[in-house]
Amino acid sequence: MSATILVADDSATIRMIVQAALTQAGWRVLAAVDGRAALSLAEREPVDLVVSDWNMPVMGGLEFIRTLRASSRYAAAPILVLTTEDDVGSKNAARQLGVSGWVHKPVDPELLVDMAAELLGQAAPPPGTEAL
């Protein structure tokens, strides 16, 4: 059975690019416009990997990931942050929440697929990725 990946990003364009790349790689993708909508999806359906923007309205990435981690189902789930942010404070906050990786926008679909495969235990780490 294929893995299910939850993508949370307020940009429709980014969601479309990410969803297309991950779907073409053979995974099932659920998409949400913000952290609150993503939490609702994650509560209804178990997911194997979360890809989240850091800066979103309603519920941003930090709050979303913190809330997700509080659930026993997602306490150790792989989480990949996809963002334009590069500040040390954000990275440290993500690291403390056990985020698995940090990928910069604009997203390289091939790199994203490679990183997702690694986090799902299906491939070696892709070159040029930043593990947290």
Q: What percent of the chain has pLDDT over 70?
A: 92
- Rounded to 5°, angle at Cα 33 from 28 and 39: 70
Per the structure, the count of domains in the chain is 1
Whole-number pLDDT of residue 130: 52
- Domain of residue 110, residue span: 4-131
Per-residue pLDDT tens over the stretch 4-52: 999 999 999 999 999 999 999 999 999 999 999 999 999 999 999 999 9
Q: Which pLDDT band holds residue 87 (cuts at 50, 70, 90)?
A: confident
Please work out, in degrees rounded to the nearest 5, the angle formed at the alpha carbon of residue 38 by the alpha carbons of 97 and 85.
50
Q: CA-based angle 27:96:44, to the nearest 5?
A: 40
pTM of the predicted model, to two decimals?
Answer: 0.89
Coil, helix or strand at residue 83: strand
Task: Write down the pLDDT at residue 123.
Answer: 56
For residue 78, the domain's CATH number is: 3.40.50.2300
